Amino acid sequence: DVKVTQSSRYLVKRTGEKVFLECVQDMDHENMFWYRQDPGLGLRLIYFSYDVKMKEKGDIPEGYSVSREKKERFSLILESASTNQTSMYLCASSFQGFAEAFFGQGTRLTVV
Amino acid sequence: EDQVTQSPEALRLQEGESSSLNCSYTVSGLRGLFWYRQDPGKGPEFLFTLYSAGEEKEKERLKATLTKKESFLHITAPKPEDSATYLCAVHDRGGNEKLTFGTGTRLTIIP
């Protein structure tokens, strides 16, 4: 079975902190994604990567950056956390050319 | 811009009462339509992929169908454990590898 693992289930951070969310997949998938999910807005794509060291902006990249130094690992960085970044963050991965994505369990981030 | 609209937002059914969830979409060219199930506080779990109009997929009490404008997720004789939010997503042929999601239907099955 595909396994996508996010480093934390719950995080509480202070405004202005630099926050790292880590994601690891074990299926040798080329594509990796970061989404955020908010009530009434659904899942919105923040960034995605289709290869090591490659990244593309999604629909809402402002305030975020990403890093992919190894194929299996994709990190989301909040450079200076703000309260409007309180959300559920979901990592996903998929094979190149096959868009069915497999998700991690999510990280519930609260910025206070 | 791709658009995905799911209806109803929420649905409450008695155990054993069959019904359907709707996903209507607008894309320049459909490469695939996906259904996911999401339990509270968890990540979405992949259910089905549909590629072309007329295609159907089944899994236990769930059956997904696809037309050129919409997809239906039919649930037959549901059980309380089928309670979840069901998400629909599309992959546009003209775009990259990303999926565009609807906001989901929250399904509650009452024993």
Residues 6+ apart with CB under 8 A from A7: A21, A22, A23, A24, A107
Determine the CATH number of domain B3-110.
Answer: 2.60.40.10
Answer whether A90's CB lies under 8 Å from A109's CB: no
Domain covering A4-97+107-111: architecture:
Sandwich (2.60)
Mean pLDDT of chain A: 93
B102 to chain A nearest CA, in Å?
6
Residues 6+ apart with CB under 8 A from B60: none
B79-109 CB burial, b ≥16 within 10 A, e <16: eeebbbbbbbbbbbeebebbbbbbbbbbbeb
Q: pLDDT digit of tens for each residue in chain B (111 aa)?
A: 788 999 999 999 999 999 999 999 998 888 899 999 999 989 999 999 999 999 999 999 999 999 999 999 999 999 999 999 999 999 887 666 678 899 999 999 999
CB contact under 8 A, A99 and B46: no
Q: Which residue of B has its CA nearest to A41?
A: B103
Substitution target in A29, A37, A56, A91 with the highest count of B β-carbons within 10 Å is A37
Amino acid at site B9: E
Domain boundaries, chain A: 4-97+107-111
pLDDT band, residue A43 (cuts 50/70/90): very high
For position B47, what pLDDT does the model report?
A: 94
For position B1, what pLDDT does the model report?
A: 78
Cα separation, A62 vs A65, whole angstroms: 8
* Contact list, A104 vs chain B (CB under 8 Å): 43
Indicate whether A36 pLDDT > 90.
yes
For position A98, what pLDDT does the model report?
A: 64
Structure tokens at A108: 């519930």
pLDDT band, residue A100 (cuts 50/70/90): confident
Domain boundaries, chain B: 3-110
Residue B34, beta-bridge partner list: B49, B89
The string of pLDDT tens digits covering residues A1-28 is 669 999 999 999 999 999 999 999 999 9
In eight-state DSSP terms, residue A81 is: -
* Contact list, A41 vs chain B (CB under 8 Å): 103
The string of pLDDT tens digits covering residues A48-93 is 999 999 999 998 999 999 999 999 999 999 999 999 999 999 999 9
